[in-house]
Amino acid sequence: MNIGVLTVNDFSFHPNMRLKQAAKGSGNEIILINPYDILCSLKDNGFEFFIEKMHNDLDVIMPRQGSPMGDYGLVLLRQFMHFGIPLINSLKGVTIARNQYITLQTLVSSALPVPSTLFITKLASFLPAVKQLGGFPVVVKQVDGMGGDGVIKVNSQTEAERFLNRFLKDRKGLLVQQFIPPQDRTDIRVLVIGGKIAGAMALAPDSQDFRTNIHQKGHARPIDLTRACASLAIKAAKACQLQIAGIDLIVEKGCAPLIIEVNYSPGFKGLEAATRKDIAKQMLDYIVNTRHVY
Ligand SMILES: Nc1ncnc2c1ncn2[C@@H]1O[C@H](COP(=O)(O)OP(=O)(O)O)[C@@H](O)[C@H]1O
Ligand SMILES: [Mg+2]
């Protein structure tokens, strides 16, 4: 099977490298496709597609650009679909998960628990949002942040004025959420593949930070998922129409778990290190053994 991975990274990037290793000797090939090397065209008699290095024989495409993919990414995915190439994850799933607020809306529509969150598009809405959440501090998130980079803690209106205008400038809107201090919570990352739990880890922040992302020097340890967390993660992936999904859960002391984020192209370096599981092989096996439709 020829598996196209839509990515701006090369084989030195951990997930790409690990997928290649998993495919080695299996009769399957991982082909990296840089989305910016593709030229899509429409003609009155149909679509055309030019890839710098042509691959006419792709069996499946894995969109792995993360949330900053932009509308251009969706254009490409549609064009691949037109050529009958199945996508893992699907266009619908990617469209939901690339925007954090749309993800939360989708989860709430499926009656799944998320933290109280407001969506603002101008600075004047910020204080009313903070009031609704019960006061400072709050967490502000960009809709398409990744690895914790678009997530900040805001302690006062002065701080808000300093940061938020810059963040609001692009008119994508911002999420405002109640801040849950690290000492009162456990963060859990669950990887769901094909409706099953592929691996899970608990994450703690570096001493200077509240964000537990590995990218922000968070510390990981393997965990046995509780039934509640496992079931929630599987339901979250299904609600967001994702076959492969990284689900971020937050468990506040004495409370039921909440879903804070769903990723459609999850990295798995930290998860493989923490769990010693061959996550790349699990992904590849799922892709190869699934009958693909879109
Ligand atoms: N409401 C919150 N209160 C406290 N910490 C949070 C909250 N939401 C997110 N975080 C921390 O910030 C990290 C990044 O947030 P997340 O929504 O997962 O965005 P990203 O896409 O950047 O990973 C989380 O893993 C968690 O450690
Ligand atoms: Mg996250």
Q: Residue 39 — pLDDT band, cuts 50, 70, 90?
A: confident
> Tell me: the pLDDT tens digits for 187-200?
999 999 999 999 99
Q: Which amino acid is at 169?
A: K
Query: Is the Cβ–Cβ distance between 236 and 211 less than 8 Å?
Result: no
Domain 2-93, CATH among 2.40.160.20, 3.40.50.970, 3.40.50.20, 1.10.10.10: 3.40.50.20
The pLDDT score that the predictor gives to residue 198 is 98
The answer to whether residue 55 scores a pLDDT higher than 80 is no
The pLDDT score that the predictor gives to residue 206 is 94
What is the position in ligand 1's atom list of the atom closest to the CA of 187? Answer: 27
What is the position in ligand 1's atom list of the atom closest to the CA of 212? Answer: 27
For ligand 1, is residue 139 a contact (CB within 6 Å)? yes
Q: How far apart are CA 75 and CA 40, in angstroms?
A: 9
The pLDDT score that the predictor gives to residue 49 is 67
The pLDDT score that the predictor gives to residue 219 is 96
Least confident among 21-35, 76-90, 271-285:
76-90
* Second CATH level (architecture) for the domain 182-289: 2-Layer Sandwich (3.30)
Q: Residue 54 — pLDDT band, cuts 50, 70, 90?
A: low
Kindly state which CATH superfamily the domain 117-178 is placed in: ATP-grasp fold, A domain (3.30.1490.20)
The domains of the chain are located at 2-93, 117-178, 182-289
Q: How far apart are CA 9 and CA 17, in angstroms?
A: 10
